[in-house]
Structure 1
Amino acid sequence: MPLTPMDSELFGPMFAQPEVTALYTDQAYVQRLLDVEAALARAQARLGVIPQASADAITAQCAILQPDVPRLSEGLLRDGVPLPALLAQLRPALSPGAREHLHFGATSQDIVDTAFVLGARSALAVLRRLLIGMGDLLAALAQTHATTLMPGRTHAQYALPVTFGLKAAGWLTPLVRHLERLAELEARLYVVSFGGAAGTLAALGTRGLNVAHALADELALSVPPTPWHTQRDTVLELSAWLTGVCVSVGKLAQDAILLSQSEVGELNEGGGGGGSSTMPQKQNPITAELIVAAAGTAAGLLAAVARSGVQEHERGTHGWQVEWLTVPQLLGLTGAALSHTVRLLSGLEVQAGRMAQNVAASHGLMLAESLTFALAGVLPRDEARTLVRDAARRSAAGEGHLVALVRGELGERGAAVAWDDLTEARTLGVTDDLIQRALNHYAQVRGQSAAHTAPPHG
């Protein structure tokens, strides 16, 4: 197994999404650095900071340069940042004047961080599309199974009856919130990094902010109030968002695993599931397992990103490199988790008959709460609770249906109780309203999210 399975031809499809992976090859990364250098030159030419001829030459060379990756690697190991070695490969093809204007007034971190933003923007466009695709599948499940009765479970035990439609709506709602959070995050994340050597843009005199705005305009980004070389809260916010998405789909996948257990049998992954080398009867929930694995790994990576945010003075030491180790992995894992979840939901087999059997097999125990409240009109609350609890023990021991046992104990005292309403299908509370609220919320946010187009750069 390679050191990083996400980059492996063999293991990569398990832990990364192809479109996101393509954004984080060496070639794609270096091209983003070149794109930022070219945009900086064009921005400065617009303002008269450098000649237009220099900007044209820099832009042309950034578009055609075939970098020598081994030399870049040597330079990166020496300098700790790829820019010096990359600029050294750019300069020989430029005129002496254009060489003087290349990377003018910027520092390496300006270029690297702005390129990071471009990559993240492209990756998040993929993740948004996957989120919407998953949301559509969950919304359809919620509608289709709005009345499909199943056991509700708390602390891994039967609780009250619910519907599978409500469970699907419950899986959907955090994803809608993630779409809302993404829109909020993007406004803070999609900004240039441009501060110069110590965050003052001193090399550009009084024109520093003008250049920052022109650079942002070239890249369809914004300008933050101050440079963010060592203020990494937005990187942490992005990482937390990615981890939150992984955790939410991980919860869905964990539920799917539990509901597919042999003795439960309420869901199947579809497509036969994963096979066993020795047990032909097995249909392992492999897709769900991969999603849960991504969620757990993302949580660990988030902790590393959080620690990396404590950086020194105006330019940090090691925290930047920790981001390189973690944030691209988070983007890749989140893409994989969403892609796997779409596949899981697309083939999900809902065993409505088995759900109904499991409800019936509880012999009314899931009606205990409803029964206790129904008796409140004929018995004191404590007496009703004691009666139902004792009857529940008898029902669990196989003596009969809970409602029948309680009705028998009450005799004529229970004449005023609406016994016909004490069925699982009639004790679902406001389930229909909750499902509809979830669907309405998703429809509203989906419309806003779908309006986002693919980014122009990155």
Structure 2
Amino acid sequence: MTISPFDSALLGDLFADREIAELFEDSAQIASMLLFEAALAAAQARAGVIPEASATRIAEVCRDFQPDPASLTAGTASSGVPVPALVKALKAEIGGDDARYVHFGATSQDVFDTGLVLRLRDVISIIRRRIRKLAKSLSTLAETHRNTVMIGRTRSQQAVPTTFGLKAAGWLAPLVRIDRRIEGLSHDLLRLSFGGAAGTLASLGGKAAAVENNLAEELDLETSDMPWHAQRDVLVDFASQLTALTGALGKMGQDLVLLAQSEIAEVQPGKGGGSSTMPHKSNPVQAEMLVTLARFNAGQLGTFAQSQLHDHERSGSSWLLEWLTLPQMIMAAGTALAQAVDMVPALKVNQDRMVANLDLSRGAMLAEAATFALADHVGRDAADKLVKDGLAQSAANQSNLFDELPKLTDVPVDWAAVRNPANYVGQSDAYIDRVLATAKRGLRD
């Protein structure tokens, strides 16, 4: 096994998300930093800080410059960040008098953090696009199975009837909320990081505000009220939403793993995985992956949250902790979404098994329905006693509760209607309608 399964050649297709992985490759990280340097030169030229010809030369070289990441390794190890080595290599490539204007007035964290933000903008676009795709599949599932009655289970035990459509709506609803929260935090997250040596931009004197605004325009980012070198709350907020997302998907995965158990067999999630020795097995690999990635991100969030503890105006240790954790959390969220997007449309729903499982309790799962039906005639306490007596008789005779209750009382209850699980799903239809309406309204393209 490699140190990280996310970039393992052996395990990569199981854990990795290639579209998101590309955004965290060394080449992508370098490209985002070069984009910053080119934009900074352009912004400074517009403000009259550096010559326009120098800015043009810097932009030309940044556009085509592709240093070998390995060539920056020694400098990165020495400085604790790749920016100084990159700037040195870039200056050598540019040459002449123009080179002295590279990285003018900026600090390494400006370059690195803004490069991260530029890539996070693409990450958010990918994640929200996939949430929409998954939401459409879950909406279809909820609509198709709004009348598919099944056992509702609480604390792993049979409770009262529900519908598979409502269960699917329950998987959908948190995705809509999480998407809305990610959209909301994007306004604060996708901001320029530009503060110079210690967050004052003193090196640019009276031109600082102009350069800052120009740079934000060049990169299509917002400015902040002040540099956020040591303010990492929004990154923690983003990591929290990634964890909420993988958690919501993990809950769906956990449900599907349990519903796919051989003894229950109400669903077959996605593409089953085979066993090396048992040819009859179809393991719910994709659903299991959702559970695994949810647990992974839940654990990582506690570690990542500690990166918010910066010393004074910058902390190297807290900053490096982000590099160890955030990319993996993003990868886990992307992979979970990709697995879910692939799995849900291929989900097989065994309605016949759902009907058969409804009969396993011999009517006991409708004891609450029987109690309320009787209470209209004899009061709640008497109704409770009648149903408990009926359950005892049912257990003793291995019979259905609703075959025993008419023997215990002659009150005029329509037992045929009460014993039908489809008549005891409450507001399922209304809840499905509300979730689907919210999803349609909240996930418009």
Band the TM-score falls in, shorter-chain normalisation: over 0.9
Match of 2:351 in 1: 352
Deviating beyond 6 angstroms after TM superposition, the runs of 4 or more aligned structure 1 residues are: none
Residues 46-93 of structure 1: per-residue CA shift (max 9 Å, x gap): 111211111101111111112132221111100001110001101123
For the pair 1:89 / 2:85, whether they are aligned, the reply is no
Structure 1 match to 2:240: 240
Quote the Cα distance in structure 2 between the aligned partners of 1:52 and 1:197.
24
In the alignment, what sits opposite 2:438? 441
SS at match of 1:361: coil
Paired residue for 1:13? 13
Aligned to 1:418: 414
CA distance in structure 2 between the aligned counterparts of 1:396 and 1:349, rounded to whole angstroms: 34
Change (3 A) 1:375 1:36: same
Deviation at 1:366, TM superposition (A): 1.7
Instruction: Provide the C-alpha distance between the structure 2 equivalents of 1:179 and 1:394, rounded to a whole number of angstroms.
Output: 51
Which moves more between the two structures, 146-155 or 375-384? 375-384
| 2:201 aligned with 1:204 | no
Partners of 1:402 and 1:290 lie apart in 2 by: 40
For 1:400 and 1:239, locate their aligned partners in 2 and report how far apart those are by CA, in whole Å. Answer: 53
Q: 1:300 corresponds to which residue?
A: 299
Match of 1:153?
153
Determine the structure 1 residue equivalent to 2:117.
117
Q: Distance in 2 between matches of 1:59 and 1:397?
A: 85
Task: Indicate how the Cα distance of structure 1 residues 321 and 355 shifts in structure 2: closer, same or farther if over 3 A, else same.
Answer: same
Native 8 Å contact 2:270 2:342 kept in 1: no
Superposed, which structure 2 residues align to 1:6-405 within 5 Å?
6-271=6-271, 273-396=272-395, 399-405=398-404
Q: Separation in 2 of the partners of 1:221 and 1:33?
A: 15
> With structure 1 as the length reference, what TM-score do the two structures score?
0.94
Please tell me the residue identity of whatever aligns with 1:140: T
State the alpha-carbon separation in 1 of the partners of residues 208 and 97 from structure 2.
21
Cα separation, 2, equivalents of 1:342 and 1:406: 47
Q: Distance in 2 between matches of 1:269 and 1:218?
A: 46
CA 1:191 to 1:393, structure 2 compared with 1: closer, same or farther past 3 Å?
farther
Q: Which residue identity does 1:250 align to in structure 2?
A: G
Deviation at 1:360, TM superposition (A): 1.9
Identity %: 43
In structure 1, what is the Cα distance between the partners aligned to 2:380 and 2:196?
72
- Any conservation in 2 of the 1:421–1:427 contact (CA below 8 Å)? no
User: Match of 1:456?
Assistant: none
Residue identity opposite 1:366 in structure 2: M
Judged with a 3 Å threshold, the aligned counterparts in structure 2 of structure 1 residues 250 and 396 are, in CA distance, closer, same or farther, namely farther
Query: CA–CA distance in 1 between the matches of 2:129 and 2:90?
Result: 36
- Does the Cα contact within 8 Å between 2:375 and 2:382 map onto a contact in 1? no
* Shift in Å, 1:309: 1.0
Contact between 2:270 and 2:347, CA under 8 Å: does it hold in 1?
yes
1:180-223 residue CA offsets vs partner (Å, 9 max, x unmatched): 11110111110000111111111111222221121111111101
**1:248-277 CA deviation, whole Å, 9 max, x = no partner?**
000000000000000000001244x11111
Look up the SS of the partner of 1:159 in the other structure. Answer: strand
1:95 to partner: Cα distance? 4.3
Query: Residues of 2 paired with 1:53 and 1:177: CA distance?
Result: 49
Counterpart residue type for residue 423 of structure 2: R
- Structure 2 CA distance for partners of 1:98 and 1:392, relative to 1, 3 Å: farther
Q: 1:115-161, CA deviations, whole angstroms, 9 ceiling, x for partnerless residues?
A: 01011111111111111111111000001111011000001011110
User: In terms of mean alpha carbon deviation, does 153-162 or 275-284 score higher?
Assistant: 275-284
Deviation per CA, 1:257-300: give whole Å up to 9, x if none.
000000000001244x1111111111111111111111111111
Instruction: Give the whole-Å Cα distance in 1 for the aligned partners of 2:313 and 2:237.
Output: 20
Q: Which runs of 5+ in 2 are unaligned?
A: none
1:146 touches 1:435 (CA, 8 Å); kept in 2?
yes
Stretch moving more, 96-105 or 342-351: 96-105
- What CA distance in whole angstroms lies between the structure 2 residues aligned with 1:124 and 1:11? 25
Distance 1:235 1:337 in 2: 20
- In structure 2, the partner of 1:455 is none
- Answer whether contact 2:169 2:432 (CA < 8 A) is retained: yes
Q: How many residues align?
A: 444
User: Which letter maps to 1:439?
Assistant: L
Output the CA distance in 2 between the equivalents of 1:93 and 1:155.
Answer: 65
Matched to 2:11, the amino acid is F
Could you tell me how far apart the structure 2 residues matched to 1:435 and 1:396 are? 35
User: What secondary structure does 1:378 align onto?
Assistant: helix
Partner of 2:4: 4
Residue 384 of structure 1 and its aligned partner are, at CA, apart by: 1.5
1:397, distance to aligned residue in structure 2 (A):
5.0
8 A contact 2:270–2:286 mirrored in 1: no
Equivalent residue number for residue 424 of structure 2: 427
In the alignment, the residues of structure 2 paired with residue 328 and residue 192 of structure 1 have an alpha-carbon distance, to the nearest angstrom, of 19
Asked whether the equivalents of residues 20 and 331 of structure 2 are also in contact (C-alpha less than 8 Å), the reply is yes
TM, length-normalised to structure 2: 0.97
Q: CA deviation at 1:94?
A: 2.3
Paired residue for 1:406?
405
Distance 1:240 1:126 in 2: 17
| Matching residue's letter, 1:131 | I
Contact 2:417 2:423 in 1 (8 A): yes
Q: Distance between the aligned counterparts of 1:362 and 1:139, measured in 2?
A: 31
Classify 1:215/1:75 alpha carbon distance in 2 versus 1 (closer, same or farther; 3 Å).
same
Offset at residue 235 of structure 1 (A): 0.7
Q: 1:154 to 1:394 in 2, by over 3 A?
A: farther
Matches of 1:318 and 1:52 in 2, distance apart?
Answer: 38
Question: Judging changes above 3 Å, is the alpha-carbon distance between structure 1 residues 396 and 77 closer, same or farther for their aligned structure 2 residues?
Answer: farther
C-alpha offsets along residues 354-413 of structure 1, whole Å, 9 cap, x if unaligned?
001101222211211111111112223122223223323443455322223222211x2x
